[in-house]
Amino acid sequence: MSVQTHSFFGDVLRHVDRAAAFTKHPPGLLDQIKQCNSVYHFRFPLRTGNGNVEVISAWRAEHSHHKLPVKGGIRYAPDVNEDEVKALAALMTYKCAIVNVPFGGGKGGIRIDPSKYSREQMERLTRRYTHELAKKNFIGPGIDVPAPDYGTGEKEMAWIVDTYIALNPGQLDASACVTGKPVSQGGIQGRREATGRGLYYALKEAASHADDMQRIGLSTGIDGKTIVVQGLGNVGYHAAKFCREDGARIIAIAEREGAIFNPSGLNEEEVFQHRRATGSILDFPESKNLSSTSEALELECDVLLPAALENQITEDNAPRIRARILLEGANGPTTPEAEEILLAKGVLIIPDVYANAGGVTVSYFEWLKNLSHVRFGRMGKRYDEAEDRRLLHAIEVATGKMFSEAERNSLIHGADELDLVNSGLEETMAVAYQEILETRRRIDGIEDLRTAAFYNALEKIARSYSELGIFP
């Protein structure tokens, strides 16, 4: 059995400690904030296709109860472990505080390779996991609200909510026990692409600040920037899509089987369809196969977007990274040692603890929708359109100019659910980035965005404990 030598949770604690050094909070309060409040590790049997029984290891960690419910995804992967689950739960606590979402942090995981199990086995496994969480009160609309993560999606969330409702008949808000559900099962439009869209909004906000862009030798805006994307899953695909549609060039895409490069630009949808048809992104037309995923990370580009797993940029390859902006789509893709090297080189790091908060932000909107039992936009869409019509009519009467039918249709638009979700997400990401920048400028000694973001999180969480009267 291999011995784990790198602690992901330890890396998170190092980031917290670096930010905590700029605060004036007592050590006891900081210790309370840093540690996981509850970690539930359990095992259960699963009958395999050949009639044997396999024992499955699973976890759910609740990092902080300073706000309830706690919130965080469920990961299905063969290398899931307790250290990883605790680290991701902790990151979720700080992430929610940074973007002003009123949740504590949680995370779940099951140590399996989903590709080796049938759909029926995956359903039984997911429902059993939900039963185990319910037995220990680790799931519920006001307690702990899971969501999709690596290896899970809408299908698994639908199984979870169905199981929870069966265990809690008549509970009015039962559908709010999990987010990331299909829209037909109480989900919300825009949730699937939320993390990728949030990354786009984060980059858009960062690229709008002329002083930072001038420092790293780039112009403002996304248009024309070259981007290397690692990971063509849900997050990487959508981040690439929105950035490309705003004028960026995706010059390389890396996946586990290798990487492809085209300096003229790649279309993520075409690459995705090629991979679906052939099983690999390699040999994509008019692109060059790279020798390894690592080679793609080291290409010269304006923006490097790692959207796969943690620990992809280490002290080993950091000296060879030639990006000017590191936009962290995955959780923990950069080790602390690598970050020191990149900062010394002048790289602008937009940290994961802020940049990939789009998913939990829109999960919050879904949770609110489930609690209110009404679709966003339903109450106001037609009213807003009627107001727009009256305004256009008044303009026509006052000016004598008549709008064409096409012009009227483009100007008269009441916001529907997706409009409101995207607007709320953009506002959330913009405000949080401005708060981080303000802290970096105000606090002497804080020079990077990650430390500023963690500082903001610590201040907000500490304020919650103070207002509860737990700490002075």
Residue 379 confidence (pLDDT) above 90: no
**What pLDDT shows up at residue 2?**
41
**What pLDDT shows up at residue 383?**
84
Residue 271 confidence (pLDDT) above 80: yes
Residue 323 confidence (pLDDT) above 50: yes
Residue 340 confidence (pLDDT) above 80: yes
pLDDT digits (tens, 9 = 90+) for 203-233: 999 999 999 999 999 999 999 999 999 999 9
**What pLDDT shows up at residue 381?**
85
* Domains 38-185 and 188-380+415-472 alike in fold: yes
Summarize the confidence of residues 266-282 as an average pLDDT.
95
Q: What is the side-by-side strand order in the sheet with 258-261? A: 288-290, 258-261, 249-255, 226-230, 300-306, 322-327, 348-350
Fold adopted by 38-185: Rossmann fold (3.40.50)
Residue in the structure block whose two tokens are 């064409």: 404
**What pLDDT shows up at residue 47?**
87
- The catalytic residues are 107
Average pLDDT, the chain: 94
pLDDT digits (tens, 9 = 90+) for 18-40: 999 999 999 999 999 999 999 99
**What whole-number percentage of the chain has pLDDT above 70?**
98
| Backbone φ, ψ for residue 2 (5° rounding) | -75, 150
Per domain, the residue ranges of the chain are: 38-185, 188-380+415-472
pLDDT digits (tens, 9 = 90+) for 412-439: 888 899 999 999 999 999 999 999 999 9
pLDDT digits (tens, 9 = 90+) for 121-132: 999 999 999 999
pLDDT digits (tens, 9 = 90+) for 175-207: 999 999 999 999 999 999 999 999 999 999 999
Summarize the confidence of residues 166-170 as an average pLDDT.
96
Cα-to-chain-centroid distance, residue 375: 23
**What pLDDT shows up at residue 472?**
61
pLDDT digits (tens, 9 = 90+) for 71-99: 999 999 999 999 999 999 999 999 999 99
**What pLDDT shows up at residue 406?**
87
This prediction has a pTM of 0.92
**What pLDDT shows up at residue 5?**
62
Do 446 and 452 meet the contact criterion of CB atoms below 8 Å apart?
A: yes
Instruction: Specify whether domain 188-380+415-472 bears CATH 3.40.33.10.
Output: no
**What pLDDT shows up at residue 1?**
36
Residue predicted with more confidence, 468 or 399: 399
The whole-angstrom separation of Cα 148 and Cα 108 is 10
**What pLDDT shows up at residue 412?**
86
